[in-house]
Amino acid sequence: MENAVRYGNSCYLRFFLVENSQRFSLSTDETATPDDFPAHLANLGLSKTAMEKQKFRIAKPGLEGSNFDCLRTRSESVPCKENPLAIDMRGLCPLLQVFDMPTSLRFYRNLLGFEVVANSPPRSADDFDWALLKRNEAELMLNTAYEFDSRPEAPDPALMAGHDDTGLFIGCPDVDDAYRYLLAKGLHHKEPKVTHYGMKQLYLKDPDGFGLCFQSKA
121 with 171, same domain: the answer is yes
Q: How far apart are CA 112 and CA 105, in angstroms?
A: 10
Tell me whether residue 189 is in a domain: yes
57 with 102, same domain: the answer is no
Check: CB of residue 191 under 8 Å from CB of residue 183: no
The last residue of a domain, from among 38, 73, 108: 73
The last residue of a domain, from among 21, 40, 73: 73
65 with 162, same domain: the answer is no
Tell me whether residue 84 is in a domain: no
How many domains does one find in the chain? 2
Percent residues over pLDDT 90 in the chain: 56
Phi and psi for 175 in degrees, rounded to 5?
A: -65, -35
Q: How confident is the model at residue 86 (pLDDT cuts 50, 70, 90)?
A: confident
Tell me whether residue 81 is in a domain: no
pLDDT at 90: 86
pLDDT at 12: 38
Q: What is the mean pLDDT of residues 159-171?
A: 93
pLDDT at 35: 58
108 with 158, same domain: the answer is yes
Classify strands 2-5 and 23-28 as parallel, antiparallel or unpaired: parallel
Check: CB of residue 52 under 8 Å from CB of residue 74: yes
Query: H or E element: which one contains 203?
Result: strand 199-205
Express each pLDDT in 53-75 by its tens digit: 443 333 444 444 443 333 343 33
Whether 50 has a pLDDT exceeding 50, the answer reads: no
Q: What is the pTM of this model?
A: 0.61
The last residue of a domain, from among 22, 41, 73: 73
pLDDT at 61: 43
Whether 184 has a pLDDT exceeding 90, the answer reads: yes
pLDDT at 36: 59
174 with 107, same domain: the answer is yes
Which residues make Cβ contacts (< 8 Å) with residue 204, sequence separation at least 6? 182, 187, 189, 211, 212
Whether 122 has a pLDDT exceeding 80, the answer reads: yes
Tell me whether residue 118 is in a domain: yes
- The mean pLDDT value of the chain amounts to 76
pLDDT at 195: 97
**Domain containing 134: what range?**
95-217
